Amino acid sequence: GNSVTQMEGPVTLSEEAFLTINCTYTATGYPSLFWYVQYPGEGLQLLLKATKADDKGSNKGFEATYRKETTSFHLEKGSVQVSDSAVYFCALSENTGNQFYFGTGTSLTVIP
Amino acid sequence: DVKVTQSSRYLVKRTGEKVFLECVQDMDHENMFWYRQDPGLGLRLIYFSYDVKMKEKGDIPEGYSVSREKKERFSLILESASTNQTSMYLCASSPPSGLGQPQHFGDGTRLSIL
């Protein structure tokens, strides 16, 4: 079956620190992979995506590379800001199906 | 930009009431979804729909039903609300399956059942 596992939170970092949030997946086919971000009191927003192996998704300084050999899609940012404080969700969708499979979310707090 | 609108941001109801949560999308998407979000459990799929008048059970459909009379609107119904249905409810929509098609989310409804 399909599933997503992401690192447990919460994560607390100082401003300008390097961020990594780990995400691994299990899929029966060839999924697309996504990172969503949820700011306090809001719904989920698409942050970035990758649709095939070795693709790199990027947006707002965040990056993630689709690694088929390790079934991973780790989220990274070189220098976090206070405004990056949010909950981050890793997700996958099978390209032949309509459902998404989400990780449990990782809460990030960035302190000045 | 895709807009998914949920009718209420906050809602307080009493045990036993019938509760309606409404969701409207403006991008003519075929697929619509209802999730609930609870701390430590992430998003859990309640129901989804691929077309008008069509519905499929998700992972946790018990105590819920849905209605999709028009393509743009997908309603979640709590038949007889209970305290364990206190949660954040998120609606999402997406185009038909295809490479990299994301789901688009509303801002959520925080529902409290007293």
For A46-104, the pLDDT digits (tens) are: 999 999 999 999 999 999 999 999 999 999 999 999 999 999 999 999 877 678 899 99
- Tokens 């459909």, located at residue: B61
* pLDDT for position B24: 97
Query: Hey, are the CB atoms on A98 and B104 less than 8 Å from each other?
Result: no
**Low-confidence residues of chain B: pLDDT under 70:** 1-2, 98-99
Give the tokens for residue A80.
């976090």
Whole-angstrom Cα distance, residue A27 to residue A75? 19
Element (H, E) at A99: none
Other residues' Cβ atoms within 10 Å of the Cβ of residue A112: 7
Determine how β-strand B31-38 pairs with β-strand B109-113.
Answer: unpaired
Residue B53: what residue type?
Answer: K
How many cross-chain Cβ pairs, A to B, lie less than 8 Å apart?
Answer: 58
State whether B106 and A43 contact (CB < 8 Å): yes
Phi, psi for residue B76 in degrees, rounded to 5: -105, 130
Closest CA to A22 of A62, A50, A51, A64: A64
Nearest to A104 among B31, B42, B100 (CB): B42
pLDDT, residue A97, reads: 66
Residues B84-108 have pLDDT tens digits of: 999 999 999 998 876 688 999 999 9
pLDDT at A7: 85
d(CA B40, CA B67): 29
Residue A8's pLDDT is 82
Give the C-alpha separation, A90 to A88, whole Å.
7
> Residue A38: what residue type?
Q
